Chains A and B, each alone.
Chain A
Amino acid sequence: MRELIQRLFPQLEAFEITSPRDGRYNCIAWAAGDTTRWWWPGEPQFSFWPAGVRREESIGSFIEAFATLGFEPSDSGNHHAAFEKVAIFASRDDVPTHMARQLPDGSWTSKLGGLEDIAHVDVTGVAGSDYGAVVVFLHRRK
């Protein structure tokens, strides 16, 4: 499995697999601290999205979804002991693709679709052709 992840994310240098494969939740749910649902602003019958937030695949919709959890835009992904941070990734056409959550030690955790969770030192380690790049950091006070 490690080889597969390395092949999917060639920029990933230091990482650790931290869960078994689990198709019950995705990266957005994992960033939100939910391991029971598949979060996405798609068709309501197939995925969860916070009530009242527009269901469209836009960066704004993702920011609004996490605002319901108390997150607001942050200047950077730099570690700050007083804040919990998440990162929104998007493709070149600004369609969200992935989210990662900062761990208490400043490293990051990502759920890789229906695969495993990983801890990775550099948030940009999972950037690339499939996940695009980090476009927004959000934070909330711990």
Chain B
Amino acid sequence: MWDARDRQIAEVAGSDVEEGLTVAFEELVLSWSSATAHLSSPTKLVEHPAYRQIIGLGPAVLPLILRDLADSARFWFPALNAITGENPVPDDAAGDVARMTEAWLGWGRANSLI
């Protein structure tokens, strides 16, 4: 049985990303990245207000996060987990950014988000 989050993700899969959402996402990414790109602590990366705001945008932002992940290898894993409730990364791949990225892109393709 689908819960509300699954239903929201399925709805996103069948629709285009709104231009306004894309602009808001890009502005938040710029704010987050310029403040934290030189930091190594996932705690610091995730607690930044812009990152929290991106998570707050909900499932609608998933296609944008997944596309950025494919292009930039930015640390989107906590956001993807928070928004989807999923963790497609095998236990032995934790910390291996290339494998984590591939796992999430595979999840995105399986859910028609990219």
Determine if A68 is an interface residue (Cβ-Cβ < 8 Å): no
Please, how many angstroms separate the alpha-carbon atoms of A45 and B94 in the complex? 5
Which residue of the partner chain A has the closest CB to B72?
Answer: A23
For residues 61 through 114 of chain B, which have their beta carbon under 8 Å from a beta carbon of chain A? Answer: 72-75, 77-78, 81, 87, 89, 91, 94-98, 100
Contact of B95 (CB < 8 Å), options: A8, A47, A112: A47
B42 close to A113 (CB less than 8 A): no
Determine if A24 is an interface residue (Cβ-Cβ < 8 Å): yes
Task: List the interface of chain B (C-beta within 8 A of A).
Answer: 36-43, 72-75, 77-78, 81, 87, 89, 91, 94-98, 100
B95 close to A115 (CB less than 8 A): no
Query: Given A38-B75, A114-B73, A114-B75, are A48 and B96 neighbors across the interface (CB < 8 Å)?
Result: yes
Query: Given A37-B97, A45-B87, A47-B95, are A28 and B43 neighbors across the interface (CB < 8 Å)?
Result: no
Q: List 8 A-B contacts (CB under 8 A).
A: A24-B98, A40-B41, A42-B43, A46-B42, A47-B95, A113-B39, A114-B37, A114-B73
A23 close to B97 (CB less than 8 A): yes
Dominant secondary structure of chain A at its interface with chain B? loop
Dominant secondary structure of chain B at its interface with chain A? loop
A46 close to B78 (CB less than 8 A): yes
Please, how many angstroms separate the alpha-carbon atoms of A48 and B93 in the complex? 8
A38 close to B37 (CB less than 8 A): no
B73 close to A44 (CB less than 8 A): no
For residues 15 through 57 of chain A, which have their beta carbon under 8 Å from a beta carbon of chain B? Answer: 22-28, 36-40, 42-49, 57
Determine if A97 is an interface residue (Cβ-Cβ < 8 Å): yes
Please, how many angstroms separate the alpha-carbon atoms of A23 and B96 in the complex? 11
A45 close to B98 (CB less than 8 A): no
Smallest CB separation, A102 vs chain B (Å): 18
Task: Note all chain B residues with C-beta closer than 8 A to A28.
Answer: 40
